[in-house]
C-alpha cells in the first residue's frame, strides 16, 4: 500500500471520505486494494499524482480510442465550451448535434436515418427498448410487450437495461424490480460441441432462437444482442454467421433487432461497426442493418459521456401524428445532445476520416494475435480468443480439465494487483483476463501488455 505520507495516499484518503465508487466493494479500499489518484493522461498511459505511469490495457472501460487527453478532441471540447456549453434539445438545435447526426447516418449501416441522443450506454438501451415497445403500441400491437435477450448478455445497470442482462452478479439482487425477458442461448463459440466450428455453434443457436420465435414472436417487441462480443459477460465471442441469421429471423418473424454496439462500436472488432461483419448471404450484401443501433463509450473517443440510438424512418414515422393522439416519444434526458460532447464525437469521427484508423487497428490486432499465441500452451490458461483488437483468456486450475478456480479465491483480483504494480492496467472480469487497448498504443506497448500478463499469471496462480 501507499506510504501514508505520500501524495497518492493523501488524495486517496480525501476521496474515501466521500466518494462512493462504481462497481466497487468499498471495504476493499480499507487496506487491500490501492485507490490510484490519476492526474493526467498521456496517450495510452495514465499518470498518478506521484508520476507513476500505468499502461491502459482496457481503454478505461472500453471507451478510449485515440489516447487520453487527445489534443484534437481536447481542442474541439475547449472550442465548443467557449461558444456554447449547453442548450436543451427540445425546441432548439445547434450545429454539433445536427452535424453529428449527419455524420452518424453517413457512417452507420445503411437505412438508419434517425438519431436520438442520451448520455450513457444504459440510457441508450432504455431508449431502444422503450421505442421498440412504443412502436408496436402505436402500430396497433399492444400485446407485444416482451424482449428476447441472450444468455450471458450485459446491457447496463438501469432497470430496463438490467432486465435484459443476464449476469447474476449485477442482476440477482434487483430481480424483484425487473421484467423477465425470454432468454435465448448465447452463440458463444467456447460452448462448441466436439467437432463443431464457431459457424456450427452459430447455426445451432439460430435453430434455438427460431424455436423461441415460433412460440413467442407475437408477444415480442425485439431481440437485443451485443454483436460479435459479449463483453461484460467475459469477452465471449461468436461467429458473424449468427448476426446474418439473426437479421433474417427478425425479418421472417417481424420483430425488431436491437444491436447494442456500445462496447464493440467504433472499430473494436476491426470494422467501424460489428454489424458490418455479418456474413454475406445469397442475394444479400455483407453486413446487416439493425432496427436500432445503440452507441456510446467510444462515440466521443472516450472523452465525454454521450450516447445515441440510431433507428429507421419506418420506426420514426410510427410516432408522427396529432399531439392529442399521444403517440410521440416523450422520453428525454436534460443533457441529450450536449454540444460539448457532440463536438468531441465529431473530432473523434474526423480522426477516423483523416487517418487510416481501421488499417492501423488491423496491424495492432495482428501484433496482439502474434503475442498471445504463446498463452495457448500455458497450463493455467484456457479459451484464448480474439476478435479485432479485443483478446481474452480464462485463468483455470488446469488446462486439461478446464476447471475454474473457486470464485472466492479472487484470482482475477490478484492478477489485477500484480499487473498494476508493474505499471499495467488490466482489470479481469472475474477470472477472465482481456486486452482491449486504445488505438494509439504502439507495438512495443502491446508486447509489454502481454509480457506483464504472462508474469501476472505466474504470480496469480502461485
Ligand X SMILES: Cc1ncc(COP(=O)(O)O)c(C=O)c1O
- Give residues in contact with ligand X (CB under 6 A): 120-122, 125, 154-156, 226, 231-232, 260, 262-263, 296
Q: What is d(CA 295, CA 107) in angstroms, rounded to the nearest whole number?
A: 12
Q: What is the phi/psi pair of residue 90, to 5°?
A: -90, 115
Q: What is d(CA 42, CA 424) in angstroms, rounded to the nearest whole number?
A: 14
Among residues 11 and 272, whose Cβ is nearest to ligand X?
A: 272
DSSP string covering 287-344, please? S---SEEEE-GGGGTTSS--EEEEE-HHHHHTT-S-GGGT-S-----TTTT-HHHHHH
Q: What is the phi/psi pair of residue 260, to 5°?
A: -90, 95
Minimal CA–CA distance to 267: which of 26, 442, 64, 444?
A: 64
Residue 19 beta carbon to ligand X: minimum distance, rounded to whole angstroms = 18
Cell numbers found for residue 154: 450485459
Residue 386 beta carbon to ligand X: minimum distance, rounded to whole angstroms = 18
Among residues 304 and 381, whose Cβ is nearest to ligand X?
A: 304
CB 434 within 8 A of CB 235: yes
Residue 306 beta carbon to ligand X: minimum distance, rounded to whole angstroms = 10
Residue 416 beta carbon to ligand X: minimum distance, rounded to whole angstroms = 17
Q: How many CB atoms lie within 10 A of CB 71?
A: 10
Q: Can you list the positions of beta strands (E) in 87-175?
A: 114-118, 146-150
- Work out the angle between the directed axes of helices 240-253 and 198-216 (0-180°, nearest 10): 20
Among residues 129 and 231, whose Cβ is nearest to ligand X?
A: 231
Residue 335 beta carbon to ligand X: minimum distance, rounded to whole angstroms = 13
Among residues 122 and 346, whose Cβ is nearest to ligand X?
A: 122
Among residues 155 and 236, whose Cβ is nearest to ligand X?
A: 155
Residue 436 beta carbon to ligand X: minimum distance, rounded to whole angstroms = 11
Q: What is d(CA 259, CA 246) in angstroms, rounded to the nearest whole number?
A: 11
Residue 126 beta carbon to ligand X: minimum distance, rounded to whole angstroms = 10
The conformation of residue 192, written as its DSSP 8-state character, comes to P
Among residues 48 and 121, whose Cβ is nearest to ligand X?
A: 121
The conformation of residue 152, written as its DSSP 8-state character, comes to T
Residue nearest to ligand X (CB): 121
Residue 63 beta carbon to ligand X: minimum distance, rounded to whole angstroms = 8
Rg, C-alpha atoms of the chain: 22
Minimal CA–CA distance to 392: which of 404, 381, 405?
A: 381
Among residues 58 and 448, whose Cβ is nearest to ligand X?
A: 58
- Give the number of C-alpha atoms closer than 13 A to the C-alpha of residue 118, restricted to the C-beta side: 21
Bin 186: left if φ > 0, else alpha if -120 < ψ < 50, else beta: beta
Helix (H, G, I), strand (E, B), or coil: what is residue 201?
helix
Among residues 2 and 300, whose Cβ is nearest to ligand X?
A: 300
Residue 152 beta carbon to ligand X: minimum distance, rounded to whole angstroms = 12
Among residues 364 and 390, whose Cβ is nearest to ligand X?
A: 390
Amino acid at each position: 500500500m501507499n506510504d501514508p505520507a505520500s501524495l497518492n495516499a493523501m488524495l486517496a484518503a480525501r476521496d474515501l471520505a466521500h466518494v462512493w465508487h462504481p462497481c466497487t466493494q468499498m471495504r476493499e479500499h480499507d487496506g487491500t486494494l490501492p485507490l490510484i489518484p490519476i492526474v493526467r493522461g498521456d496517450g495510452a498511459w495514465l499518470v498518478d499524482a506521484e508520476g507513476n505511469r500505468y499502461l491502459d490495457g482496457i481503454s478505461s472501460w472500453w471507451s478510449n480510442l485515440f489516447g487520453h487527453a487527445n489534443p484534437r478532441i481536447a481542442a474541439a471540447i475547449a472550442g465548443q465550451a467557449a461558444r456554447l456549453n449547453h442548450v436543451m434539445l427540445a425546441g432548439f438545435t445547434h450545429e454539433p448535434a445536427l452535424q453529428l447526426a449527419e455524420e452518424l447516418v453517413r457512417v452507420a449501416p445503411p437505412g438508419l436515418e434517425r438519431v436520438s441522443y442520451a448520455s450513457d450506454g444504459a440510457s441508450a438501451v432504455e431508449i431502444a427498448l422503450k421505442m421498440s415497445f412504443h412502436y408496436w403500441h402505436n402500430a396497433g400491437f399492444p400485446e407485444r410487450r416482451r424482449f428476447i435477450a441472450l444468455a450471458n448478455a450485459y446491457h447496463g445497470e438501469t432497470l430496463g437495461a438490467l432486465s435484459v442482462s443476464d449476469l447474476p452478479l449485477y442482476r440477482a439482487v434487483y430481480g424483484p424490480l425487473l421484467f423477465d425477458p425470454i432468454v435465448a442461448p448465447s452463440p458463444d463459440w467456447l460452448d462448441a460441441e466436439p467437432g463443431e466450428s464457431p459457424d456450427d455453434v452459430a447455426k445451432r443457436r439460430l435453430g434455438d432462437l427460431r424455436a423461441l420465435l415460433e412460440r413467442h414472436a407475437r408477444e415480442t417487441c425485439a431481440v437485443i444482442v451485443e454483436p460479435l462480443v459479449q463483453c461484460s459477460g467475459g469477452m465471449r465471442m461468436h461467429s458473424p454467421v449468427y448476426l446474418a441469421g439473426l437479421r433474417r429471423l427478425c425479418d421472417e418473424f417481424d420483430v425488431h433487432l436491437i444491436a447494442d454496439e456500445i462496447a464493440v462500436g467504433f472499430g473494436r472488432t476491426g470494422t467501424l461497426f460489428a454489424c458490418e461483419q455479418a456474413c454475406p448471404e445469397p442475394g444479400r450484401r455483407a453486413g446487416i442493418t439493425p432496427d436500432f443501433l445503440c452507441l456510446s463509450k467510444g462515440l466521443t473517443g472516450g472523452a465525454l459521456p454521450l450516447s445515441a440510438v440510431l433507428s429507421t424512418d419506418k420506426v420514426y414515422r410510427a410516432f408522427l401524428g396529432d399531439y392529442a393522439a399521444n403517440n410521440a416519444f416523450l422520453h428525454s434526458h436534460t443533457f441529450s445532445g450536449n454540444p460539448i460532447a457532440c463536438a468531441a464525437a465529431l473530432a473523434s469521427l474526423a480522426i477516423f476520416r483523416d487517418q487510416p484508423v481501421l488499417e492501423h487497428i488491423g496491424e495492432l490486432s495482428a501484433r496482439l494475435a502474434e503475442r498471445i499465441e504463446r498463452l495457448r500452451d500455458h497450463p493455467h490458461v484456457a479459451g484464448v480468443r480474439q476478435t479485432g483488437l479485443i483478446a481474452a483468456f480464462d485463468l483455470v486450475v488446469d488446462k486439461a480439465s478446464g476447471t475454474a478456480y473457486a470464485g472466492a479465491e479472487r484470482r482475477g483480483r490478484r492478477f489485477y494487483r500484480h499487473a498494476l504494480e508493474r505499471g499495467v492496467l488490466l482489470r479481469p472480469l472475474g477470472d477472465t483476463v482481456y486486452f482491449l487497448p486504445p488505438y494509439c498504443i504502439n507495438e512495443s506497448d502491446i508486447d509489454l501488455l502481454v509480457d506483464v500478463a504472462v508474469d501476472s499469471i505466474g504470480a496469480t496462480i502461485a
